Structure 1
Amino acid sequence: MGTARRSEFDQGIALEPHGSEAGRYEAELGAGWQIGGGVNGGLLLAVAGHALSLAHGDHRDPLSISGYYLSTSRPGPASVRTEVIRRGNSLSTGQAVLSQDGEERLRVLATYGDLAELDGEVHTSAQPPVMPPPEQCIGVEHAPKELISQAALLERFDLRLDPATVGWAVGQPSKQGRIQGWFRLADGREPDPLMLLLVADALPPVTFDLGRPGWAPTIELTVHLRATPAPGWLRVTHATSNLAGGYFEEDCEIWDSTDRLVAQSRQLARAPRQ
């Protein structure tokens, strides 16, 4: 019997223990996860989040995780050091540092628990985004060539953007500061909590809809997880209300196939240069 092929995402966040040193792991950041000048920030957060999942044992799921991006990560070897700061009955808190070539790239502080122990119901006044079904949305194959050339990670995604939020692709941004669409991985891997860390940073920068295309490097990204996502498509929205001093915030909501809000995030990013 053949061995099932491992998802590209699982390969992308794979870790190996660093000898006998407890809490330290080795990773290989793949070129297929690049965007702009470096590796995607969501993928990096998932790598660090994976290391903290291993470090926290029964508390395997991130409930709140914040990453500060200190320098640009490149494809190649990386190391992750973890530290459990506090371990309680239902929650644990820890930190992780992802480094390359002796330089710190990402520092993470997170609280972990077990999403399976929660009741799974999410009470919210927010509403899932209304948009056409995936087959009526705009796939990656229609993205501008200059975007594909700067975003190898798009080949890992089955991303279908709402036609109402892609005017920027033909030089007609709405200036509303909103992009939304359907998301799943191209190889069919079903979503889980670690994958939600990637999804929170998976759509094109919302500044595209403000008429400012280009790479928008993340400064800080915080993700709150509400529940384990159900199998199937995810609906993702990115929105911004403020761009000032060359920086903007990007708020994200992730809804699963049962219309449940499973994660929210906010990041501070540098606006693309004009």
Structure 2
Amino acid sequence: MSSEYDKATAFDLTGNRATVQLSADWGIGNAVNGGIIMSLLAQATSSVSRAAGGHSDVLGLSAVFLSPGTDGDGATTTDVLRSGRSMTTAQTVLTQDSERVRAFLTLGDIDRYAEPVTLNPAPPVIPGPEDCARSSDAPPGALSQSGLLHRVDIRMDPATAGWAVGQPSGNGELRGWIRFTDGREPDLHSLLLFLDAFPPVTFDLGAKGWVPTVQFSGYLHARPEPGWLQVRTRTTTVAGGLHEEDAQIWDSTGRLVAQSRQLASARF
């Protein structure tokens, strides 16, 4: 049986164009989560590239979010810009009634680049998932406004969860664990969802409300092993209503499998 993630990232491909269905089930407020959109773009681009004789594993994705994705039909159009022996470069655009996201992707054979590991930052030492604050315990109002929180299981390190009870630490860092609620194991392209699924890091600085992504760059380093993923997000610069957010993801073996940096709004 397909998981909810697999259903949300399904598409019908004809040539370089895919018809897709964005779902409010993966939304935050009225907008569909950018992470699920990037996972969908990665999979559609992978299929087009593979059909054209190119590579199928996304190594890097840089996206500009032009307008929020909404519940309903959409389409992606992929142009393979270059396909070499080791890497393929492509551009994919998501449209609904207007252009939503424009992304440039680098694809290759992830297993070729996963080993040997010369440098791997260790994950932070935090309590296990069973000893962390659960997203399912969020106030009913927050749960009703976010379909995403019903589909990903987030466990927040208590040391970085004070914002949830009105006591942000002011450090600009969140730490914790994440996995799919229905038990589906993570795979390579789902890491793009998990990079953008944590609460906004500016909540730890006292920010309120929706924090839309303006620009996002994500890098995938290896296929994750089954089990919980450990996440750390941080910000060091907040000014003029914008901030940068860095995210890192380690798999159950302690291997850094993905990281990202994004520019996003911040509302106080």
Normalising by the smaller structure, the TM-score range is: over 0.9
| Contact 1:25 1:80 survives alignment (8 Å) | yes
Cα distance in 2 for partners of 1:235, 1:86 equals 34
Which residue identity lines up with residue 44 of structure 1 in the other structure? I
Q: Which of 214, 220, 223 is equivalent to 2:218?
A: 223
Q: Would you identify which runs of 4 or more consecutive aligned residues in structure 1 move more than 4 Å? A: none
Matches within 5 A, 1:27-66: 27-57=20-50, 59-66=55-62
1:172 equivalent in alignment to 2:167: yes
Question: Structure 2 stretches of 5 or more lacking a match?
Answer: none
| Contact 1:120 1:228 survives alignment (8 Å) | no
Question: 2:115: which partner in 1?
Answer: 120
Q: Which of 247, 252, 255 is equivalent to 2:250?
A: 255
Q: What is the CA-CA distance between 1:140 and the residue it aligns to?
A: 1.4
Q: What is the CA-CA distance between 1:12 and the residue it aligns to?
A: 0.6
Cα distance in 1 for partners of 2:260, 2:118 equals 17
Identity of aligned residues (%): 48
Question: Scaled by the length of structure 2, what TM-score is found?
Answer: 0.96
Q: What is the CA-CA distance between 1:214 and the residue it aligns to?
A: 1.2
Question: 2:185: which partner in 1?
Answer: 190
Q: Which of 89, 97, 114 is equivalent to 2:85?
A: 89
Helix, strand or coil for the counterpart of 1:212? coil
Q: What is the CA-CA distance between 1:175 and the residue it aligns to?
A: 0.4
Cα distance in 2 for partners of 1:84, 1:55 equals 8
Cα distance in 2 for partners of 1:249, 1:42 equals 16
How many pairs does the alignment contain?
265
Q: Which of 7, 17, 23 is equivalent to 1:11?
A: 7
Question: 1:142: which partner in 2?
Answer: 137
| Contact 1:99 1:105 survives alignment (8 Å) | yes
Cα distance in 2 for partners of 1:178, 1:146 equals 24
Q: What is the CA-CA distance between 1:30 and the residue it aligns to?
A: 1.2
Specify whether residues 16 and 186 from structure 1 end up closer, same or farther in structure 2 by C-alpha distance, changes over 3 A only.
Answer: same
| Contact 2:136 2:150 survives alignment (8 Å) | no
Q: What does the per-residue CA deviation read over 1:2-35, in whole Å, with 9 as the maximum and x for residues that have no partner? A: xxx10111111101024xxx10000011111001
Q: What does the per-residue CA deviation read over 1:136-176, in whole Å, with 9 as the maximum and x for residues that have no partner? A: 11111222333223211110011111111000011110000
Q: What is the CA-CA distance between 1:125 and the residue it aligns to?
A: 5.5
Question: Scaled by the length of structure 1, what TM-score is found?
Answer: 0.94
| Contact 2:120 2:255 survives alignment (8 Å) | no
Q: Which of 52, 66, 69 is equivalent to 1:70?
A: 66
Cα distance in 2 for partners of 1:54, 1:74 equals 24
Question: Structure 1 stretches of 5 or more lacking a match?
Answer: none
